[in-house]
Structure 1
Amino acid sequence: MDEIQVETQAQSSSKIIAKSLKILAKNFTLLITITALTILPLSLLLFSLSLSTRPLATEISRKQALVAWLAPSAITRHVIREIRSDSLKLLSLKFIYFLPSYILSLSSTITVVRSAFIAHNGKTPTLESAITAVKKTWKRPLVTSLYVYFVKLLYDNAVNVCYAFPVKWVVVVLVTSCFRVLWFYGAAVLSMGMVVSVVEEREGMDALKTAFDLMGGRWFCGWLLGGLQVVLTGGIGYVFMERKGGFVDGVFLVLMFCFVVLVGYLINTVFYFECRKCLGREKVDGI
């Protein structure tokens, strides 16, 4: 890709963001209602999970590091039993949060994408149309989300494996950095795959393959948009966990997170249409 193409796709990214914000402005009441019903409780659950599991996860990591230095003994076996017990507690906590978080995540994706789909076609979305979309299409995004989860799991494990190799830290940092940079594009493909499963009769690997094909000629634009969403959501989450402020700061960060997630859904939907437009397949029958 030459310099002109890179510049063109960078400009295209800014236009996609502008179109997304325009959809938000025109359908502000509806999208804020959807956010209050789905994205806000989802965000509260995610931050609550992070706060609940962090002390336990830190304790497990500390004990694992300790075991690595201890010689085999009764003390070592006792520490290993504690690690297993703590790990079960951690899994139990995550399981408690999983189902409500999953339902809210799926609902927010379908309702916002469907509303953006209608708005992009020049019509006015309603709360009723958003709810109808959930009833009609939940199976397709559900199947696709399982594939998305599997790919994310592979990525997380690949990064963790890099840290496990006994090589120089410079090499580890370099390799993991490459993984993270590539993940920006991967995140964009997975996000568009979810959009495809909402607005087309596709699901699972078929939806992800369609998303990959659509983004074929616009990989840099997808990389920018995907990277922006990953950095912003990850950054807000990091600041929230490390913050020294009080309740007001926490509320502000949660609301910021909700806004980024909402706009992210809109960006993914608009980007989907732009990719189809470039391939001469702008018309979508939809649901």
Structure 2
Amino acid sequence: MDREPEELQFLGLLGIYKESSKVIFTWRKVFTKITLSLILPLTFIFLAQIQISELIFSKIIKNEVALDGTRSGTPSYDRLTNRISSEWTTFWLFKAAYFIFFLIFSLLSTSAVVYSVASIYTAKELTFKKVMTVVPKVWKRLMITFLWNFIIVFFYNIVAAFFFILALIAIGPGDVRPVVLYVLLVLYFSGLVYISVVWHLASVISVLEDFKGIQAMIKSKALIKGNKWLGCAIFVKLNLAFIFIQFGFEKLVVHGEELGMGSRVLYGMVYFFLLLILFLFGLVVQSVFYFVCKSYHHESIDKSCLADHLEVYLGDYEPLTGKDIQLEQYHV
């Protein structure tokens, strides 16, 4: 990064996007290799599971329709029942396998990109070989942070469901009920977005600081103060782009039989490329946003300490202590 730490706090939404794009294009050789080795499989896994899930699910629906028109107790009925049961088992086993592989490549990609951006910031020599040496030592810390986020979201949904049910019981039928439910939905999704932003920043913290799991989430919550709306805006915009790509892929590729095979393949390539770029760009933005938050809190990052920390990854893992990363404050 060419900017001084003091300047990063003044970056807005577009500024972060521009800074992230500059990082990618300046170091395109390294990021291209990271993309091809980690983000490309991640993209392929995500889009392939949409197509495969649709194929399995369509067979289930077809057999269930046939089952409805078959008399119970007949051999045909029993065969269809066994086939549907087998297909549901296949469907959920496939989903479980997809989730595991998607999570692994997601954590590996995050580790690689965060390490690369931090190395660029400290003006360290950055090579793809170094990145791939570090990645296996970092992703386990990210896994712990992810599990804590999963636990938090799980209990958040339980509490939200409780309040939804309580509101339905307390209000009863009437014109007021839709308004209350709408307000609760807005509050629910606002909370979910905030938790997601905290988690993404905690993922960067898990790589660059001596925090992981719930400690990283708490640290992220404190660090995001003052930039909460900026973080939420970034998250919402990137996820809207993600939803657009997913919707387009399902509409024009998965369910685009009327377009013909040639057009479907072409659209599939376009959406594959868009999602590939979005994954890379989102991870770089996530890393740059961390440095923006540090700068906002007037924590001048000691580049030598951070560089030493990154170099330790090439040997035995030893994260920075609090005094190494909680750096001296500067005054603007």
**TM-score, scaled to structure 2:** 0.69
1:26 CA displacement: 0.7
Q: Which amino acid aligns with 1:223?
A: C
Of residues 219, 241, 250 in structure 2, which corresponds to 1:210? 219
Quote the residue 2:106 is aligned against: 105
Partner SS for 1:280: coil
**Alpha-carbon distance change, 84 to 179 in structure 1, aligned in 2, over 3 angstroms:** farther
Partner SS for 2:12: helix
Of residues 236, 241, 246 in structure 1, which corresponds to 2:264? 246
8 Å contact kept, 1:185–1:223 = yes
**Alpha-carbon distance change, 115 to 11 in structure 1, aligned in 2, over 3 angstroms:** closer
What pairs with 1:13-28 in structure 2 (closer than 5 Å)? 13-28=13-28
Quote the residue 1:223 is aligned against: 232
1:181 CA displacement: 3.8
Quote the residue 2:241 is aligned against: 232
Aligned equivalents of 2:242 and 2:146: distance in 1?
19
Q: Does 1:146 align with 2:171?
A: no
8 Å contact kept, 2:108–2:136 = no
8 Å contact kept, 1:144–1:207 = yes
RMSD of aligned alpha carbons: 3.6
Q: Which deviates the most, 126-135 or 109-118?
A: 126-135
Q: Does 1:272 align with 2:273?
A: no
Q: Which deviates the most, 82-91 or 246-255?
A: 82-91
Partner SS for 2:98: helix
Residue ranges of structure 1 left out of the alignment (5+ in a row): 1-8, 65-73
What pairs with 1:117-266 in structure 2 (closer than 5 Å)? 117-153=118-154, 172=181, 174-243=183-252, 244=256, 245-266=263-284
Q: Which amino acid aligns with 1:238?
A: F
- Over alpha carbons, which structure has the higher Rg? 2
**Alpha-carbon distance change, 61 to 155 in structure 1, aligned in 2, over 3 angstroms:** farther
**Alpha-carbon distance change, 158 to 94 in structure 1, aligned in 2, over 3 angstroms:** farther
8 Å contact kept, 2:63–2:84 = yes
Aligned equivalents of 1:173 and 1:138: distance in 2?
39
Partner SS for 1:282: coil
Aligned equivalents of 1:180 and 1:55: distance in 2?
31
Paired residue total: 268
1:121 CA displacement: 2.4
Partner SS for 2:226: helix
Partner SS for 2:211: coil
Quote the residue 1:115 is aligned against: 116
**Alpha-carbon distance change, 87 to 171 in structure 1, aligned in 2, over 3 angstroms:** farther
Aligned equivalents of 1:100 and 1:232: distance in 2?
23
Q: Which amino acid aligns with 2:204?
A: V
1:124 CA displacement: 4.1
Q: Which amino acid aligns with 1:101?
A: F
**Alpha-carbon distance change, 63 to 277 in structure 1, aligned in 2, over 3 angstroms:** farther
Q: Which deviates the most, 39-48 or 183-192?
A: 183-192
1:85 CA displacement: 5.8
Aligned equivalents of 1:61 and 1:205: distance in 2?
42
8 Å contact kept, 1:185–1:227 = no
1:102 CA displacement: 2.2
Q: Which amino acid aligns with 1:22?
A: K
Quote the residue 1:30 is aligned against: 30
1:172 CA displacement: 4.7
Partner SS for 1:180: helix
Higher helix share goes to which structure? 1
1:41 CA displacement: 0.8
The sequence identity of aligned pairs, in percent, is 22
